[in-house]
Amino acid sequence: MGFGIGVTSSSMGPRGVLEDFSSGQDERGKVFDRHIVSRMLAYLKPFRLQMLLALAAMIIASGLTLLIPYLLKIAVDQYISAGDLPGLGRISLYTAGAFAGLYVSTALQQYLLSWVGQRALANMRSALFRHLQKLSMGYHDTHIVGVTVSRVMNDVATINDLISQGLITLLGDLLILIGIIVTMLLMNVRLALLTFIVLPLMVGVTTWFSRRARGAYRETRTSVARVVGDLAEDISGVRVIQAFGQEDTSQVRFDQLNQANREANISAMTLSFIFLPAVELLGVLATCIVLWFGGRFVGVGTVTVGVLVAFLSYVTRFFTPIQELSRMYTSMQSAMAGGEQVFRLMDTEPDVEDAPDAYEMPPMRGEIHFEDVTFKYRPELPEVLHDVDLEIQPGQTVALVGPTGAGKTSISNLIARFYEVTSGRVLIDGIDVRSVTQQSLHRQLGLVPQNSFLFSGTIAENIRFGRPDASDEEVERASREANAHDFIVSKPDGYNTRVLEGAVNLSVGQRQLVCIARALLTDPRILILDEATSNVDSLTESLIQEALGRLLKGRTAVVIAHRLSTIRNADLICVVDEGRIIEQGRHEELIQRGGLYADLYARQFSGD
Amino acid sequence: MTATTVAIPDSPRPNGALLRAFGYLRPHWKLTAGAYGMMFLIDAISMINPLIISWIIDHTIIKQNMGMLSLAVGGLLALVVVKGVFTYFEGRWTEVASQNVAYDLRNELQRKITLLSFSFHDQAEAGDLLSRTIQDVERIRFLTGRATFRVIEGTVLMVITAVVMIVLNWRLGLLAIAAMPLLVYQSIRFGKRFRPLSLQIQKQLSVLTTRLEQNLRGAQVVKTFAQEDAEIERFEVENQKWFSLSALSARLQSQNMPLMNLIANIGSVVILWFGGSMVIQGQMSLGEMVAFTTYMGQLLVPVRQLGMVLPAITIAGASAERIFQILDTIPEVHDSPSARNVNFGEGRVAFDHVSFGYGRKAEILKDITFEAEPDQVVALLGLTGSGKTTVVNLIPRFYDPTAGSIRIDGTDLHDIKINSLRSQIGIVLQETTLFTGSVFDNIRFGHPSASRREVEDAARAAQAHEFILEMVHGYDTRVGEKGVTLSGGQKQRIAIARALLMDPRILILDDATSSVDSETEHLIQLALENVMQRRTTFVIAHRLSTVQKADQILVLDKGQIAARGRHEELLASSSLYNNIYQQQLKPKKHKVIETISQGGDD
């Protein structure tokens, strides 16, 4: 800002100040973690050249920032006081040149730093995404999706901002601060020391503010979250509210939360309204010190008017670096905490890894064999499968039935080798699944998940998911076989209908049909089918049954079964209970045997 | 949160909406007026300060008048303290006024949202309503608070600074001000290019987030279909797009601020050169020259702020529209002037040639006529989409028929106050919504003054008392967000207790069988039987036992009553009924195994 005498107002508004000083974590964490910073720096290494250039630009910019008030001093003392017009012209030109240099160097520095920062950020996100693809189901079971997303999107951004931009800016601020202090000391030690009285006051005020601001700002966040939560509940329960005539009660409750939010905001902002004038007051105090003492020194002759003017200019730019530094302190804490999480994710080893000598799974016949398999999801958890032995012939349909938590899903997960067995072996066509590569194994497997998961994208893209190169004809053929074609073409955009997030624009039954088409298109040798439990209307139900019939035909299929028809037609029913297969056989055999299966089957009919 | 349009009439004039938003400041006009008053005082002090510094240099330091120096410095400090106090009140008053605007708007929106009829909520999306109430209101708050304030403050400060500079020294003043149009131009140009770009970046970032989220949610599918590499490639494409946009924005941003500074700084150099010459020639004092450089610095602040605030005002216009769209929507169902409070006597419900359709869509109900005798159980049956739910939704006036009339005990529904009508109807909806709070509060939801005893009695009748007591905190157990998770069967029974507590004359039940085990199903069955006694009951039936007990069964087909009678009669006479019986009511065999696998669900 030119020679900027007497203008110390922050460029940020009161809310900006509040937010900027409140970005820290709740608990006091580490401000600087060498390991995190050095690992982060590794991502910047490819951009060494740009960073060095930015550093050079920063040093030039800092130098120029310091030089400009000094030029002003020379102008006043040597030319204006001396009445040297040509000299004034020269020094003005130099100053203009310095400003032009400042423009080029700051623009260059900012551009380089943001460019490198964004590039490194994009690279880190890619690296994390790649890593996530390698992680096993064990990771996904134990981590909430939202948290992982926030690691890849937010935490990475915070740490990256800090390292790629923050550190250099920090360096620049320090450089300018030290430069100002040194220059002032060089120009006049006594006046400089007197002016520095303001420094500890400034640090004190800023620390006070950033401490208070954090708590107050957090309060505004929680109070608005409560408002959102209450309103969301009102909206989702609006039918009940109206049915029970409770509109007024819900308004009273909302009003309280709304009020609390208003108060929290006002008191947080009030802090800013104290802080900003205080900063300005300190700035003017420094100016006053310079004027009052400096004025006397001018009289004594120890200080020239030019030095006084230069001091006035330096004093005003003292404050920005101090505020920046204190702001950095808080954001460093949160960045380090975030960085730790990011690298922890990066360091998570997949539970299931290809053996060094793993080979491609040869084309399968589809014979599955469990040999004395015991299994725990994690070492510290109880065993979920005990000594399971199971033999499935190629082309057989096997239904797994049993209560929730009995181990049906675990059995199917082990076939796909989503987890490693704790002991025993899982063999496909006599080959231990651990000796082949996971991808080659999965390529010959198909899955129809219980929740009928679809991705956002078009219906065609979803069907093509397992074989992105499939032609339109193939997609259509698979849809026809899956009884999905008719409903798809009845949509306005046909196969190009977009599946919205959560597939809300498809009915539950339609989602299942699309999942069946998706599995059909890959023509897997072994199919894992986790039947959906949700009710669908009877017409759709019969379409699903028919489609499933086609899907299962000619493949080995392991079905986590809830539908009677699937169970009745199964070649083998395994009743799983408490981690063991306690009964095996066909429907009629099991009914005749009069065991658990027959028991449960009979009980249902007495109910109605 | 993607903003989807709700079927609400478009408000015709965005500027009208903005003006109307400002109207919300009216109740708080004293605060606003006070803040603007403060603003002028603050601007005045900002103007005087550089003059004082200039005066100090010229008259005390150069002339070495130490007495005056102390006085002037003291005055300067005093002025800044006064300014600080003014700034505090200015800020606080603006903030309080604008927070009040937000508070009022949010209360109004919440009120409206809870009052709007089902037909509105059928089409509205929760996320959209939330974003209107939170984000859009926040933008209006910003507009009615600091945004407008800053625009006015900035303009005033700019004009005054310019005037003072010209008065002080018109030639130098004009030279310095020459930079201003350039500054404004650059600021606006940047805003125009940067805003759409930053919106694009936001959008791309959310695309990227969705990609990642979907990939994680579908991890099992990705793995089984061996699509890890394809997924990586898809992510890369979006990631690269994001980077290109970000790099472009980095270029724009990195130039803007330094360029603005450069323009202002060139102004400073001009002051140094020409001002210096004037000082040498004795046409100006050194102090005045220093004051000029300070004013030059002051010019930049408002310009920078204008550049940031002006785009916010444009967005606020759209926000205001979105808010008033909701506030202006009239609930389709509302009390007519002639409506009164009515106490139902025996509870006779009559539909007289009732038709119903949503907006432009085809008719959902056609010419429905029937009568429910007092204390009868009427079962409604039909395929999905046949109109069962719509029929029962018309009784508490969640919707109004498009033709025909409905009467309770001979009184047309339109002549009954909605509150009076609904307080005498108990409803158990298919999806059981419970609210955050204790089980106790949830049961007495419709009757907040109910005693502990009444609540427990209702829970007993609903077969809920026992499982409630088994929970650690009994009736004080918190449910809903951050509370315990109840199974579907448990929720359903609490909902039944909630309806029972109202002791309604008329009862509406959707007894959908969610996947519960047979023991729970039995309990729910018992609860429902308790509830139906001594009331006129409408049941959307899914259970054979319910249908067998019904006094009247209405079989709906494509919005019309296709058959009516008792179970045995219909079995003998209606082929549609037989069809439905086969599909929906007959013991569901495939449920057997589901029950096995879902055991322990309750």
Task: Using an 8 Å CB-CB cutoff, list chain B residues near A528.
Answer: 224
* C-alpha count within 13 angstroms, C-beta hemisphere, residue B42: 23
Most confidently modeled of A255-264, A289-298, A527-536, B488-497?
Answer: A255-264
- Say which of A258, A265, A562 has its CB closest to residue B597: A562
pLDDT at A235: 86
What is each CA distance from B571 to A16, A537, A607, B574, in whole angstroms? 73, 21, 22, 6
Mutate to test the interface with B, among A121, A256, A291 (most CBs of B within 10 A): A291
DSSP state of A427: E
Residue B428 dihedral angles phi and psi, to the nearest 5°:
-115, 105
- The Cα B293–Cα B287 span in angstroms is 10
Residue A555 dihedral angles phi and psi, to the nearest 5°:
-125, 160
pLDDT at B10: 46
Structural contact between residues A79 and A38, judged by C-beta atoms closer than 8 angstroms: no
- Backbone CA torsion sign across A293, A298, A300, A301: positive
Q: Establish if A122 touches chain B: CB-CB under 8 angstroms.
A: yes
Residue A389 dihedral angles phi and psi, to the nearest 5°:
-120, 130
Categorise residue A607: left if φ over 0, alpha if ψ from -120 to 50, beta otherwise. alpha
For the stretch A193-251, pLDDT in tens is: 999 988 889 888 888 888 888 888 888 888 988 898 888 888 888 888 888 888 888 89
- Say which of B64, B228, B423 has its CB closest to residue A245: B423
Task: Using an 8 Å CB-CB cutoff, list chain A residues near B436.
Answer: 229-230, 233
- Say which of B83, B102, B446 has its CB closest to residue A262: B102
Strand partners, A536: none
Q: Establish if B68 touches chain A: CB-CB under 8 angstroms.
A: no
Q: Is A234 exposed, middle or buried (0-12, 13-18, 19+ CB in 10 A)?
A: buried
Q: Establish if A219 touches chain B: CB-CB under 8 angstroms.
A: no
- Say which of A126, A266, A561 has its CB closest to residue B236: A126
Task: Give the residues of chain B that fall short of pLDDT 70.
Answer: 1-14, 307-308, 311, 358-362, 384-385, 430-431, 481-483, 511-519, 543, 583-602
Structural contact between residues A103 and B260, judged by C-beta atoms closer than 8 angstroms: no
Structural contact between residues B92 and B85, judged by C-beta atoms closer than 8 angstroms: no
Structural contact between residues B254 and A118, judged by C-beta atoms closer than 8 angstroms: no
Structural contact between residues B294 and B157, judged by C-beta atoms closer than 8 angstroms: no
What is each CA distance from B80 to A272, A478, B1, B74, B149, in whole angstroms? 17, 78, 45, 10, 21
Q: Is A122 close to B384, i.e. CB distance below 8 A?
A: no
> What three-state secondary structure class fits A331?
helix
What is each CA distance from B421 to A241, B351, B376, B391, in whole angstroms? 14, 16, 19, 16
What is each CA distance from B439 to B469, B477, B511, in whole angstroms? 11, 6, 21
Tokens of B269: 């150099």
Size of interface A-B (CB pairs under 8 A): 459
* Gyration radius of chain B over CA positions: 36
Q: Of A148, A100, A82, A153, nearest to A122 (Cα)?
A: A153
For the stretch A519-561, pLDDT in tens is: 999 899 999 988 776 666 667 777 888 888 888 888 999 998 8
Q: Establish if B202 touches chain A: CB-CB under 8 angstroms.
A: no
Residues in chain B, overall count: 602
- pLDDT tier for residue A564 given thresholds of 50, 70 and 90: low
Average pLDDT, stretch A157-183? 84
pLDDT at A148: 86
Burial letters for A455-477: b for 16+ Cβ neighbours within 10 Å, e otherwise? bbbbbbbbbbbbbeebeeebbbb
Q: Of B42, B539, B87, nearest to A272 (Cα)?
A: B87
- The Cα A405–Cα B542 span in angstroms is 29
Structural contact between residues A272 and A192, judged by C-beta atoms closer than 8 angstroms: no
Q: Is B593 close to A562, i.e. CB distance below 8 A?
A: yes
Structural contact between residues B74 and A318, judged by C-beta atoms closer than 8 angstroms: no
DSSP state of B147: I
Please list the alpha-helical segments (H only) found in A237-246. Answer: 238-243
Mutate to test the interface with A, among B104, B593, B595 (most CBs of A within 10 A): B593
For the stretch A475-517, pLDDT in tens is: 999 999 999 998 898 888 889 988 876 676 787 788 889 999 9
Q: Is B590 close to A416, i.e. CB distance below 8 A?
A: no
Mutate to test the interface with B, among A124, A144, A288 (most CBs of B within 10 A): A288
Task: Using an 8 Å CB-CB cutoff, list chain B residues near A410.
Answer: none
Tokens of A596: 């658990």
Strand partners, B479: B437, B484
pLDDT at B82: 93
Q: Which pairs with CB-CB distance under 8 Å and at least 24 residues apart come from A520-523?
A: A520/A478, A520/A481, A520/A482, A520/A550, A520/A551, A521/A463, A521/A464, A521/A466, A521/A467, A521/A470, A521/A474, A521/A475, A521/A478, A522/A443, A522/A446, A522/A466, A522/A467, A522/B225, A523/A446
Average pLDDT, stretch A346-359? 89
Residues in chain A, overall count: 608
Q: Which residue has the tokens 């046909």?
A: A494
Tokens of A2: 């030119």
- What count of other Cβ atoms lies within 10 Å of the Cβ of residue A581? 22
* C-alpha count within 13 angstroms, C-beta hemisphere, residue A568: 10
What single letter denotes the amino acid at residue A446?
A: G
H/E element, B35: helix B29-55
Q: Is A238 close to B279, i.e. CB distance below 8 A?
A: no
Q: Which residue has the tokens 């085809």?
A: B362
Average pLDDT value over all residues in chain A: 85
Categorise residue A394: left if φ over 0, alpha if ψ from -120 to 50, beta otherwise. beta
pLDDT at B50: 85
Q: DSSP labels for A23-71?
A: -S-SS---S--HHHHHHHHHHHGGGHHHHHHHHHHHHHHHHHHHHHHHH
Q: A14 versus A204: which is more confidently predicted? A: A204
Cα B391 vs. chain centroid, distance in angstroms?
30
Burial letters for B63-75: b for 16+ Cβ neighbours within 10 Å, e otherwise? eebeebbeebbee
Strand partners, B357: B363
Structural contact between residues A336 and A28, judged by C-beta atoms closer than 8 angstroms: no
Residue B414 dihedral angles phi and psi, to the nearest 5°:
-70, -15
Average pLDDT, stretch A281-291? 88
